[in-house]
Amino acid sequence: MNTKSFYLLLFGLFCSFGIYAQQYTISGTVTDSDGMALPGAAVFAANQAIGTSANEDGEYQITVNAGKVILEVTYVGFSKSSREILVNQDMQGVDFTLSPGVALDEVVVYSGSKKAEKLTNSPSTIVSISPREIEEFPGNPAELIARKKGVDYFRAGIATPAFNIRGFNSNFNSKNLQVIDNRISSLVATGLPLGPLSTVIKEDTEQAEVILGPNATLYGPNAHNGLINIRTKDPRTYQGGTVVGNLGVNGDGNAFNSLRLRWADKVSEKFAYKVTGEYTRAEEFEYADSVYIDRKDALGNIYAPGTPNSEKDGIKEGYEEFQLDPDVEFIKAGATAIYTPSPGTDIIATYEHSNSTYLSPTNVGRNQIVDWKINVFQLRFNTKNFFAQVYRTSSKTDDTYSIDDRTKAYYANLDAGVPEDVAGGEASFATGARFRDDSHRWNAEAQYTNTLFNDKLEVVTGIQWQLDRANSLGSYLLDENEEDYIEVGQIGGYAHMLWDMGLGFKALGAARIDNHEIYGTNFIPKAGIIKEFGKGTLRLTYGQGIAAPTIFNMYANLFGGLILGNAEGFSGVNPFTNEAFVVAAQEVEKLNTYEIGYRGTIGSKLYIDVNAYFNNNKNFLSPVTAFLGVTQRGDTPIEEVQAIPYGLVATYINFGEVNTYGTDLSLTYMISPSLNVTANYSYFDYSYDENNLENDFNNDGVVNYQDVLVNAPNNKGSLAVNYSGDKFYGSVFSRWVEEYNYFSSFQIASETIPGETYRGTPIVENAPGTDSFNYGPLGGFVTLDLNAGYRISEKFSVGVAITNLFNQDLREFTAAPPTRGLYLLETKFNF
């Protein structure tokens, strides 16, 4: 450990020493006035910032510090119930009965400060997907993110839901952090969220929360644009078994089938466990992307097949992807054991596994993901005010490949006279189309929380350590073999404090310091003021986020060295002007966000959640961009790194400064405790200095939209009607996304722009681009989704989920099929 790391360790341990308060457990049930259980009801010790949720039988259990405890219990559609009790021993039978009313402002969340807090008190802009929503939605719970304000949601295929927050989207977006049970859930080399590779099944997902904007102080240095935080079910709270089957079909008539199971048991007061499993098989929407190829004859002359050479020299022609496999398959398994040596102290061990096969869009076309395995080992320790964990995430694939590059190699082989059966075999991978991965990451964390000065000051502080060990087996990184790991370490410390100043005012102060092995030390502050009113909370916050380049950004080596990482910089001589140039090594990207928001109720039936924000974005990590005439990568001659002619290198750089701003509004009107209507609207826009040539990403001497590549709609909205009764539940959801242009490296989706070119080709809708076909802008649609379910008995229920009811061809993403309908029937048996 170097000197900087040592001081960071001391910083993280600061405030970590305190006197543990004696703790006791309170348990009981939450029901309505008819005695019906309210599963997922939030139980919150308001004066201690400790919370939990009731299980499917309405039972809850919460461990609190001794002394005065103010318990608040809330549930969507019901008024809050509060009780002040003196706790000096374990207490059972502390039951609550809720009456109809509005309590949407009291949902307990965990993302804002990494501990339980009421949604209204959170200093961050958070949208929460409640246990009740997940339980009653028969389809993929990721679809519920589309129903929240401020989130750009994409269906990039039947198996690849994705989301983005506040602009700068791309087909290779690592700016949104994914966290599951306090562990970072992203790929080691690329930093991409696991998404479809996730090891968690729907039936073990208790709650999901999405933070809009940076929240880097607690979760890590790369929670840049936003964060999705998923919490799984505690086997002590959610006991018993669940078996779920899905039978479905997509709009093309292709099958979608899934079988999932979960079993959990509290064996004794000291031991509990759960096991989960899933097998899903489907077929992707019918779609073959165009791959644009310069065909050559035996003499190397470019031509289009089937036409005289003299008429078509130099013209590219599009071909369908070679040997496209539309099969989708997911296998998941997991187990967790909890040992409780004494009340309030838990040791939790988790193992989870997934094996995934599907089609994934990228900046240069689609990847065929083949048997990509993720393994997670996690050990957690919880006691009173202290939390610690260590976990290992591994990633392995041997046969994943770039469909685009393999297709080009196949036709190049044919042009060279290679027999077709050979051209389509191993020879089609010769240019580096196959991706292999055998990487892993180690993480460790220790965290301390407490309330001081008569509960006036809430403190969260801790340290985090991470070691990435990436190995592509020489396929897509600058490693050479199975022993040649690319290692990058980082360590950080954070402190988060919330001070109750009285009169409803609270002040937030937070910061973290990170030391990155490549990018040195970065300081990340956060501050805010919160004012609580009788029925709502106003907040004003400032936050900073950073995004360090991923291992792929730093050490990529794709397609024989065409795409190279930029950890060391490049230099060369432009062959057209004979001018020397230098490409600086990448730096950390920075984001500063200023935000104001209000959450609360108006009257007895209307809930409002509104925010406005302003972001200043500096030193963007660019999409891949090309340079000609490169002679050096750092101090290494380029010919020792690649075999591409003319020193052609595509790499990543920092550039520019752009301001983004917008507002998000959500209104929920409670018609009755069982029936509500929710409307969402978001506005987003951006500005930049056209005279600042640092914004000239593509080096054409003009600063315009093609440099900043914001890739987000200006306007979007949704409307939902939701019903949840004792037996029947369901919703009708409509989403509107304004049409917008999208550019991401090789990908283009744009209206015709007279006189403009992208990557050297005129921008014309429904026409070929330089590298891909331009089908026109994304968005520009209104779609309707339906879901409904019926509880036949306490143990058996059925449900249906219809996504894109009218089977429209929705253009949501590039290098991906138009999203069509998906129709699912779900049966659920609890035992």
pLDDT tens for 771-790 read: 888 999 999 999 999 999 99
Residue 22 located in a structural domain:
no
Per-residue pLDDT, averaged over 237-251, amounts to 93
One domain for residues 399 and 479: yes
| 19 domain-assigned | no
CATH number at residue 41: 2.60.40.1120
**Domain hosting residue 94, numbered range:** 27-116
Whole-number Å distance between alpha carbons of 301 and 313? 8
Reply yes or no on whether the pLDDT at 105 is more than 60.
no
When pLDDT is averaged across residues 151-163 and rounded to a whole number, the result is 89
Burial (Cβ within 10 Å: 0-12, 13-18, ≥19) of residue 760: exposed
pLDDT band at 13 (very low <50, low <70, confident <90, very high): very low
What is the mean pLDDT of the segment spanning 380-391? 91
Number of compact structural domains in the chain: 3
Q: Which residues pair with 799 in a beta bridge?
A: 789, 826
- The rounded distance, in Å, linking the Cα atoms of 585 and 479 is 19
What is the percent of the chain where pLDDT is above 70? 91
- pLDDT per residue as tens digits for the range 504-518: 899 999 999 999 999
For range 467-475, the mean pLDDT: 95
Does residue 471 share a domain with residue 553? Answer: yes
Three-state SS at 791: strand
Does the pLDDT value for residue 309 go beyond 50?
Answer: no
Does one domain contain both 506 and 635?
yes
768 is a domain residue: no
Kindly report the CATH number assigned to the domain that includes residue 337. 2.40.170.20
For the residues 382-408, what does the mean pLDDT come to? 93
**Residues 96 and 30: beta-carbon distance below 8 Å:** yes
Q: Answer yes or no: is 5 within a domain.
A: no
Q: Which of 111, 266, 91 is nearest to 182 (CA)?
A: 111
Does the pLDDT of residue 667 top 70, yes or no?
yes
Asked whether residue 795 falls in the same domain as residue 782, the answer is yes
- Mean pLDDT within 340-359: 93
Do 111 and 254 have their domain in common? Answer: no
Lowest mean per-residue pLDDT among 137-151, 313-327, 372-386, 805-819: 313-327
Q: Span 427-451, mean pLDDT?
A: 92
Q: Which of the listed ranges 134-143, 742-751, 797-806 does the model predict with the highest average pLDDT?
A: 797-806
Express each pLDDT in 247-297 by its tens digit.
999 999 999 999 999 999 989 989 999 999 999 999 999 988 878 776 555
CB 157 within 8 A of CB 816: yes
Q: For residues 660 and 677, is the Cβ–Cβ distance under 8 A?
A: no
Residue with the larger pLDDT of the pair 113 and 478: 478
Same domain, 203 and 144: yes
Q: State the pTM of this model.
A: 0.89
Quick one: 91 and 195 in the same domain? no
Q: Write down which residue in 64, 84, 116 finishes a domain.
A: 116
Percent share of the chain, pLDDT over 90 = 51
619 and 682 co-located in one domain? yes
**Are both 350 and 308 inside the same structural domain?**
no
Residue 1 resides in a domain = no
Question: What's the pLDDT band for 202 if we cut at 50, 70, 90?
Answer: very high
Asked whether residue 715 carries a pLDDT value surpassing 90, the answer given is yes
Tokens 């959640």 correspond to 609
The whole-number average pLDDT for the span 24-47 is: 84
- Residue 300 counted as domain residue: yes
- Residue 92 belongs to a domain: yes
**118 vs 430: which has the higher pLDDT:** 430
Mean pLDDT of 559-577: 89
Residue 342 sits in the same domain as residue 411: yes
Mean pLDDT of the chain: 87
Tell me if 593 sits within 8 A of 615, measured CB to CB: yes
Task: Examine the domain organization and report whether 691 and 573 are in the same domain.
Answer: yes
CA torsion angle for 146, 147, 148, 154 (degrees, to 10)? 10
Q: 337 and 301: one domain?
A: no
Lowest-pLDDT range, 100-109, 347-356, 811-820? Answer: 100-109
Among 116, 142, 158, the domain-final residue is 116
Residue 604 belongs to a domain = yes
Domain closes at, from 116, 142, 170: 116
